[in-house]
Amino acid sequence: MIQPTLDAPTLDAPTLAGKHVLLGLSGGIACYKTAELTRLLVKAGATVQVVMTAAAEQFITAVTMQALSSRPVVTSQWDAREPNNMAHINLSRAADVMLVAPASADFIAKLVQGRADDLLSLTALARPTQTCPLLVAPAMNREMWAHPATQRNVAQLLADGAHLLGPGNGSQACGETGDGRMLEASELLEELIAFFQPKWLAGHKVLVTAGPTFEPIDPVRGITNHSSGKMGFAIARAAREAGAEVTLVAGPVHLTTPRGVRRIDVQTAQQMFDAVLPLAPAHAVFVATAAVADWRPAQVLEHKIKKDHKPGASTAPPMISMTENPDILAAVAALSPGPYCVGFAAESRDLLKHAREKLLRKKIPLIAANLGPATFGRDDNTLLLVDAHSERELPTNDKLSLARELIREIASRL
């Protein structure tokens, strides 16, 4: 039975509302990214308390960080503004999470050794580990990152319970290219939001299809369906946020891959089928969000079909004979053992009737139905969850919030 949701998020709910983030900056050129991160965190509803080391103040001023966070920045363990003169205790007791970004090689070494000779390392050491977890976003030159000393320190940091965000790979401020870049502000925000999501699917593998398929007629033309891929990408992101290992098989869309998600790009329904079927048995959940073309041209022509412009030539359009594509969802649902299968139904009317028919035809336990024309390309949607016995509407919301609710529903059924 589908149970009513108790805490459905509202449209555009600030994702980090009520969260208190203790944001520590150590010395690194990536401090400029942390300025942007502060803006994003505040916009997402978080309270941001900035702590800076003396080295960080060489790269960006406390004035900038105060203006962006709307709170005085703390830089010294001797800060006389604290009534009890214990900034390290007060700061770490108030926070839901401590994020050090950028975390320099030197600062990571200090964390590992439990040193406490500046306010930021002192606060990290004094923090209650159960209520104030530590997230670390390294930022350094690639040789410093690859050095055995840093790698040893990072392994120890993880063993001590810290979470690592990044580092990224690419061109570095020093002119070299490799591992060690701090993640971009938007990536750190995505990671922080994911960190706070309940881990409904920890330890599970989830396979998702998304986007349209494109069935070529000739080298320049083809047949496709309406689908931006946004709903499927949101489901992949929500599954990863919930702790799952996620593979996303995507038709031709121009969307950024959600962080931590493995993406396989395909074009045609047959390619999607060939990618999905061998992977499906190893997954606990399969969510078929893709708008797969039901038919494809029986033959793909090698050259473009040309209009005949000769006087008196036939004006009849070319006949294209079609053949049926394999039904990916039905094929996965027939696997034994196979994953828990969730289908999508994009209809233009009679949502419930069509959804029930599809549930029976594809032999799947759950389907999410939506009115196609009302949601194509949009950031919001309304879903009707239909199982064999009942139905429940997930009211209009942004696609990520709906995806999180769907993931929670799926997890409760595993």
Point out which residues bind ligand C5P (CB under 6 A): 209, 269, 288, 290, 292, 325, 327-329, 343-345, 358
State the minimum distance, in angstroms, from the CB of residue 327 to ligand C5P.
4
Token pair for 354: 């069509």
Closer Cβ to ligand C5P, 189 or 231, answer by number: 231
State the minimum distance, in angstroms, from the CB of residue 213 to ligand C5P.
8
Closer Cβ to ligand C5P, 15 or 268, answer by number: 268
State the minimum distance, in angstroms, from the CB of residue 411 to ligand C5P.
19
Whether the ω angle into residue 167 lies within 30 degrees of 0, i.e. cis, is yes
Closer Cβ to ligand C5P, 201 or 249, answer by number: 249
Closer Cβ to ligand C5P, 127 or 356, answer by number: 356
Contact call for residues 93 and 129 (beta carbons, < 8 A):
no
State the minimum distance, in angstroms, from the CB of residue 364 to ligand C5P.
8
Strands 97-103 and 134-138, by their bridges, are: parallel
Which listed residue (31, 132, 174, 341) is catalytic? 174
Residue labelled with tokens 């061998």: 278
Question: Which string of b and e fits 263-283 if b means at least 16 CB within 10 Å?
Answer: beebbbbebbbebbeebbeeb
Token pair for 180: 């060690």
Closer Cβ to ligand C5P, 27 or 251, answer by number: 251
State the minimum distance, in angstroms, from the CB of residue 21 to ligand C5P.
38
370, with CB counted inside 10 A (0-12, 13-18, 19+), is buried
Closer Cβ to ligand C5P, 55 or 331, answer by number: 331
Contact call for residues 5 and 405 (beta carbons, < 8 A):
yes
- The conformational region for residue 180 under phi > 0 = left, psi -120 to 50 = alpha, else beta, is left
Respond yes or no: is residue 31 known to be catalytic. Answer: no
Residue labelled with tokens 């029930």: 356
Rounded Cα distance between 234 and 167, Å, is 24
Q: Which of these, 79, 22, 11, lies nearest to 47 by C-alpha position?
A: 22
Contact call for residues 365 and 333 (beta carbons, < 8 A):
no
Rounded Cα distance between 122 and 26, Å, is 13
Contact call for residues 304 and 312 (beta carbons, < 8 A):
no
State the minimum distance, in angstroms, from the CB of residue 283 to ligand C5P.
14
Active site residue ranges? 174
